[in-house]
Structure 1
Amino acid sequence: MIELETADYARAEQMLAPYRARRVPGAAVVPQWFAEGTRFWYRIGSRFTVVDPGEGTRRAAFDHDRLAAALSVASGTAVAADDLPFTAIDLEAPGRDPDTMRFAAFEATWEWSDRAGTCVRVEEPQPGLSDVPSPDREWIAFRRDDDIWVRSRDGEQEFALTDDGEPDHGYGFLPEPLNSGVLMRKFGLDPLIVHWSPDSTRLLVPRVDQRDLPEQVLVESSPAGGGRPVARHIRYPMPGDEAQPTLAWVVLDVPSRSVVAQQDAPEPLLHPGALMTAWWTGEKGEAVHLVHRSRDVRTLELRRLDPATGEITTLVSESGETRVDPTPELGETPMVHVLATGEVLWWSQRDGWGHMYLYSADGTTEQVTRGPWLVRRVLWVDEERRQVWFLANGLVDDDPYVRQICRIGLDGTGFTRLTDDALDHDAVSPPEGGHLVDRASDVATPPRSTVRAGDGQVLVELEAPDTAALEALGWAPPERFRTTAADGRTPIHGLLWKPHGFDPARRYPVIDCIYPGPQIHRSSPAFDTVIPGEAEAFAALGFAVVTVDGRGTPGRSKAFHDASWGALDDAGSLVDHVAAIRELGLRHPWIDTGRVGITGHSGGGFATARAMVAHPELYTVGVASAGNHDVGWYVPMWIEWYHGSVDDEARRALSTPALAANLQGKLLLIQGELDDNVLPFHALRLVDALIEADKDVDLLIIPGVEHSLMGRRHYATRRTWDHFVRHLHGSEPPSYRLAPFPPPDLGV
């Protein structure tokens, strides 16, 4: 038995994502491109850096010390150079001196001249958090009530572009299922979805219709200020419902104030990501291209919308017996590139892997890449040289998830692997290409960030952090492991963290940190995993921790991913998790497979409870947070896209409450009362079934919070730790309270 002290909890707290990143400054380089498309800037903490790949230079974006001193005087508030209070920043704007920048701080806008060393308050109206400036910064699009408006940069002009918006049938908004509406309102956000044309004259806007959809009600038990509970009504259709939100695209012309709507009828909108799969093409925006998925996602199309007439033409159409995906993982930018020649570069898994195909203007198709590996992301297409740069999975022996940077001709010749190490490369390029910003890492090595030329040569070194500050807290990198799936032949991969203060002579309980997919994979070969800090905190508490990517998760072959089709009830192949943990127990005598816990959030919450009732012989302790336990009554996308059928049989197969009588271990359910993604009835239905089966269960309903438990996540985390310490370690948790987590940085 391990007796934990407050110091152990304090150390675990520092492993959590809000704090862990501070221990490895420079690990996350996110380039922000300047308008000319070659230079970029990035931010590390309060340090802002400008990079010019053409000159091979990297320099401070401004004099941080002088700015802090000047802002302290101008604002009357002390400011430190290493803690700049920016909530937004604009390093360039048309017509402004290139040595000046603007930023928001202390609820005001300021202009800083790096040459003159002056900091002055600016009264010109600035975009709100939900406003969208045009590329030339002359116009700002915003929504008023349910219509789209624009105002000029100087605020002297303001007018509506639509006048027929109405509640639940308006412009540029997200439908309520999966829109995180409660969280957005908490931060004062109302996201506006619009796409400006390159010449800043037109807006491509979705018109969303969620009228006549069934309503669900959330009850806010403890509103601020007290008083009666408040009912929150949301539109929330279920799988199989004929009525779903619909989407129609509209082009709004600012100079003429004209409106052109698509000629085709609106289409069902099952996932808000569809609002981001439309883009302008041509120097001025001569056309709009759309990636369209059928409701059953077995047909994927590239369509062209004529912005002058609203006519829609289908250019590419592909169908399959299961999902036809535009990318390996949900939420990524579709790998579709329309060339000036009229050719289309198109990603497809038609040969069993994810490869690129070139559709010519006359309709013929040629395969560009091929082999038992997949194109993970298209980085840059050079139409003049007829070459494409991309990330590829499956080129490194023994680990199909490691990404490498490659180049090939559009005719399929000249394949070149530009990186030939065993590191995972996460690269991006500017909009017009020309170079690559590369972050190379593995599970033990923080990302070394560089700028690479098209031939792979390093042009500029950016950041190369180390892990010394983490190691001082007892951190050690996880082991990247390979085991065999439950079928006895398929290799699967995962991560294993040893407990802090590891002693090979002891036996440690293990926690499976699960998210089942099937839309993402869990165990990254990179330094910054999908769950930075979560697993490492459990390791700091004396647990061995595993993550596993079983069959049915993406990132490998089409067949590997399709193992989840019609088998969503196995939650990303729980049988593979069981097989992996048992095999690890045979390899490592210090892993106690008689004490196995499991935890996850959202889909991971579903998988956690599912594991506890489907595999009670292994999983004895679980914490399921915000789990969609009755999937047949969750948002339509999950079951319709990843299970394939919606009928009574499917609903029964996917219902965890139906297996409640199998529970043997200690299960804690955590649920936010205002969760507008996974509605609270999921937890309560499971509790109801467990009561009916006379099974013990712990339930924590957290008032006032939504799906992410924002604002009270620290409390849920501490209760999760206590549950595992009490029931897996077998000891009483120390008296320790976690501090509220810092809010996310929404502005800069």
Structure 2
Amino acid sequence: MSSDVVLTAADYARAEQMLAPYRARRVPTVTPQWLGDGERFWYVAGTRHVLVDPPRGERSELFDHERVAAALSRETGQAVEGEALPVVAVEVDEDGVRFSALGQRWRWADGALSRLDEAPLLPGEILSPDGRRVAFARDGDVWVRTRDGSEEVALTDDAEPGLAYGAANAPMAMGTLLRSLGLGPLFHATWSPDSTRLLVHRLDERGLPEQVLVESVPPGGGRPVEHRLPYPMPDDEAHPTMTWHVLDVAARTRVDGQDPPEPAVHGTAFVYAWWSPDGRDVHYLRQSRDARTLRLRHMDPATGATTTLLTETGATRVDATPQLGEPTMTHVLATGEVLWWSQRDGWGHLWLHDGDEATQVTRGSWQVRAVLRVDEERRQVWFLAGGLGGAEGDPYVRQIARIGLDGTGFVRLTDDELDHDTLAPPRGRHLVDRASSPAVPPRARVLDGDGTGLLELEAPGTDALRAEGWTPPERFRATAADGRTPIFGLLWRPHGFDPQRRYPVIDHVYPGPQNHRALPAFDSPHQGEPEALAALGFAVVAIDGRGTAGRSKAFHDHSYGDLGNAGALDDHVAAIRELGRRHAWLDTDRVGITGHSAGGFAAARGVLAHPDFYRVAVAVAGNHDDTHGLQMWAEHYHGDADRSSLSTPALAANLQGKLLLVHGELDETVLVSQTHRLVDALITADKDVDVLIVPGGDHAILHRRHVVFRRTWDHFVRHLHGQEPPAYRVAPLPLG
């Protein structure tokens, strides 16, 4: 393989600037931080901190940056500029603005700066709504301290190894990463609205099969260190369970939910629990181990008594949201009615349940993607809808709409070609709308309940990215391998694009199935780093094949029982070939594939299951044999079908191209043994493979991801461009 693209160190430097941390600095996104009143918010725009008051229609500086800079300079003796304030961990309350700067905690109030004797909130610490207390975990028990540190009390004292309050499942708890950052374990709990009680789950992983990970090069030196974690696998009888509890801070009492322990095979189970606005009720979603039954449960926080309000069952997985882990769309109204999201008619729609009666609120060949606001007095619901453009439109484009709870009065509040990633405050009638496309950065504004713009917030441009050689990706529609289903994706042209040249193609893959990735939005999540590969002279695609989330139930269920097809890799092959027929500059005889985690599985699967199409692959942290992976993936997303199709090592003899396997040795989510199993099969088949095992690496290989990027680029440059990579070293990436 050869190419007329000749790469230099300067090209690698431009690719480095396309990596996510550097792109984010060039095109900032508004991320609202809501204040206690549930209406006002603040956000960071470049180097400025902005306060927004929607009811008053006002936008102003959160604080006077120049005066704060001058005050910091006087107090510390260090020169500080208003346009480069070293301000982090910002918190806002009725007494002013608190922040960390230059190794100290400060308060800015009434035009004066004062030192504070407090520590900033750490990951896993949860501030009460009134801002006075912080909940956290210590050795598996729940503790609460006052914000000023004057009092610290334990609310539980019965934790033990494998039995912890607020804990995440060990394979999903990011223990390796948190240890490397000097942080404690994750902690999940929810304060009552009046800040007097905590709703917390207790996770039981006692007696589960263990996995041993070996840290070959511990930071302090010396012999290798072992790390043990509970890691049950598909079809193991043993599985983690969880129970619900309410802790009273002042009385230091605990009320136990009366439900028996429920399966907790994935760490998102505790996401779907919430207090009623008045704090009198607790509701949560309970999913069966096989995910085919979903129940809405009510718990009395005073007694622990529980009842089932609603049950839905299905022949396949019953999802609670369009994508795993998204905010719940279930609302229990003051009348006792339940607004419920369901795919029972083949699409994701809202239903209103009143006892045994159910009214379909929304309907059509499109999907409700998020509930933004429920107005019980006006009997209306505001929501994001995906696919309102009909059969010829893009099913992933989200628009804002409103409808009556009786299913009448449907109104589209936005009707454009942009994708609306809209956020609602905890209370109130205003929305923060972030509208974008693959070419248009998020234009943020405040809308009222009728969709009318009240305040323009930010409208960043792309000049800084274009100066580095970036061009926006093309949103495309192609036909799946079945010859009839439309599928969608993104296509990045190489930097310095010349239509007279022929460019190799890289499929940047993530097959879900719990989400979709090639969004019709700017800098969509899960897409990885295709911009960097485009800077190195590759055409790059990201495709959502059948079996991924975000569309109809049938589209998603294409992978159920066929998880080994990695989100329909045959659809990827069909789409890339179709693009090759459209664009003569795409060289579909030189196609590579790369991805991380499930994308790593798909990358290795691609080069082995489609060896005549994918010539080169880089598979990072791939779950190459889900019969030995997390329980949830096989049990929820594959069902009872034959598990043998989940094993990529069984295809090892098919290898014809060039494969690089990368894995962190301390990956607790996808065990490094997954890669070792594939390597073993390749050796047995007498196939050559390149392998990089990263000492100390977690699932994201966060501290050494710069090395993973460089090795990935080198592999594709060497085997798709047909040239030796230039001598270039990518710098460690900023973690923030």
Report the TM-score range of the alignment, normalised by the length of the smaller protein: over 0.9
**Structure 1 contact 16–532 (Cα < 8 Å) conserved:** no
1:97-246 correspondence runs (5 A) = 100-113=96-109, 115-116=110-111, 118-124=112-118, 127-187=121-181, 188-246=183-241
CA displacement 1:92-112 (0-9 Å, x = unmatched): 14xx2xxx2111223321111
Q: State the partner residue of 1:372.
A: 365
Give the match's secondary structure for 2:504.
strand
Q: State the partner residue of 1:404.
A: 399
Is 1:626–2:626 an aligned residue pair?
A: no
Q: State the partner residue of 1:510.
A: 505
CA displacement 1:270-323 (0-9 Å, x = unmatched): 11111121111141x101000111111111111001111111100010001011
Q: Distance in 2 between matches of 1:205 and 1:313?
A: 18
1:406-445 correspondence runs (5 A) = 406-445=401-440
1:521-536 correspondence runs (5 A) = 521-531=516-526, 534-536=529-531
Pick which of 79-88 and 636-645 moved more.
79-88
Identity of aligned residues (%): 62
Cα pair distance change 1:557/1:527, threshold 3 Å: same
Cα pair distance change 1:533/1:359, threshold 3 Å: closer
The Cα shift of 1:433 comes to: 3.4
Count of residue correspondences: 730
Q: State the partner residue of 1:478.
A: 473
The Cα shift of 1:532 comes to: 5.8
**Structure 2 contact 117–148 (Cα < 8 Å) conserved:** no
Q: Decide which of 442, 448, 469 is 2:443's aligned counterpart.
A: 448
Q: Decide which of 621, 640, 655 is 2:635's aligned counterpart.
A: 640
**Structure 2 contact 262–286 (Cα < 8 Å) conserved:** no
Cα pair distance change 1:539/1:125, threshold 3 Å: closer
CA displacement 1:550-608 (0-9 Å, x = unmatched): 11111111111110100101000000001001111111111111100000000000000
Q: Distance in 2 between matches of 1:313 and 1:602?
A: 38
Give the alignment's Cα RMSD to 1 decimal: 1.3
**Structure 1 contact 280–286 (Cα < 8 Å) conserved:** yes
Give the match's secondary structure for 2:719.
helix
1:709-748 correspondence runs (5 A) = 709-744=701-736
Q: State the partner residue of 1:76.
A: 77
**Structure 1 contact 278–290 (Cα < 8 Å) conserved:** yes
**Structure 1 contact 510–592 (Cα < 8 Å) conserved:** yes
The Cα shift of 1:127 comes to: 4.2
**Structure 1 contact 182–676 (Cα < 8 Å) conserved:** yes
Q: State the partner residue of 2:270.
A: 275
Cα pair distance change 1:379/1:412, threshold 3 Å: same
Q: Distance in 2 between matches of 1:420 and 1:155?
A: 51
Q: State the partner residue of 1:660.
A: 652
Is 1:682–2:674 an aligned residue pair?
A: yes
Give the match's secondary structure for 1:446.
coil
Give the match's secondary structure for 2:193.
coil
Give the match's secondary structure for 1:735.
coil
Cα pair distance change 1:568/1:533, threshold 3 Å: closer
**Structure 2 contact 517–527 (Cα < 8 Å) conserved:** no
Q: Decide which of 610, 615, 634 is 1:615's aligned counterpart.
A: 610
Q: Distance in 2 between matches of 1:172 and 1:569?
A: 33
Cα pair distance change 1:462/1:176, threshold 3 Å: same
Give the match's secondary structure for 1:492.
strand
Q: State the partner residue of 1:561.
A: 556
Pick which of 219-228 and 288-297 moved more.
219-228
Q: Decide which of 314, 321, 327 is 1:327's aligned counterpart.
A: 321
**Structure 1 contact 223–230 (Cα < 8 Å) conserved:** yes
CA displacement 1:70-94 (0-9 Å, x = unmatched): 112223333332332233111114x
User: TM-score of the superposition, structure 2-length normalised?
Assistant: 0.97
Gaps of 5+ in 1: none
The Cα shift of 1:162 comes to: 1.3
The Cα shift of 1:215 comes to: 1.0
Q: Aligned AA for 1:392?
A: A
Q: State the partner residue of 1:315.
A: 309
The Cα shift of 1:212 comes to: 0.3
Q: Distance in 2 between matches of 1:124 and 1:736?
A: 44
Is 1:36–2:31 an aligned residue pair?
A: no
Q: State the partner residue of 2:59.
A: 58
Q: State the partner residue of 1:395.
A: 388
Q: Distance in 1 between matches of 2:121 and 2:470?
A: 42
Give the match's secondary structure for 1:30.
coil
Cα pair distance change 1:520/1:742, threshold 3 Å: same
Cα pair distance change 1:518/1:588, threshold 3 Å: same
Q: Distance in 1 between matches of 2:701 and 2:47?
A: 27
**Structure 1 contact 514–547 (Cα < 8 Å) conserved:** yes
Q: Aligned AA for 1:366?
A: T
**Structure 1 contact 138–152 (Cα < 8 Å) conserved:** yes
Q: Decide which of 703, 707, 726 is 2:695's aligned counterpart.
A: 703
Q: State the partner residue of 2:14.
A: 11
Q: Distance in 2 between matches of 1:530 and 1:137?
A: 32
Q: Decide which of 342, 349, 373 is 1:348's aligned counterpart.
A: 342
The Cα shift of 1:692 comes to: 0.3
Q: Aligned AA for 1:373?
A: W
Give the match's secondary structure for 1:605.
helix
Give the match's secondary structure for 2:171.
coil
Cα pair distance change 1:286/1:417, threshold 3 Å: same
Q: Distance in 2 between matches of 1:654 and 1:523?
A: 24
Q: Distance in 2 between matches of 1:679 and 1:184?
A: 17
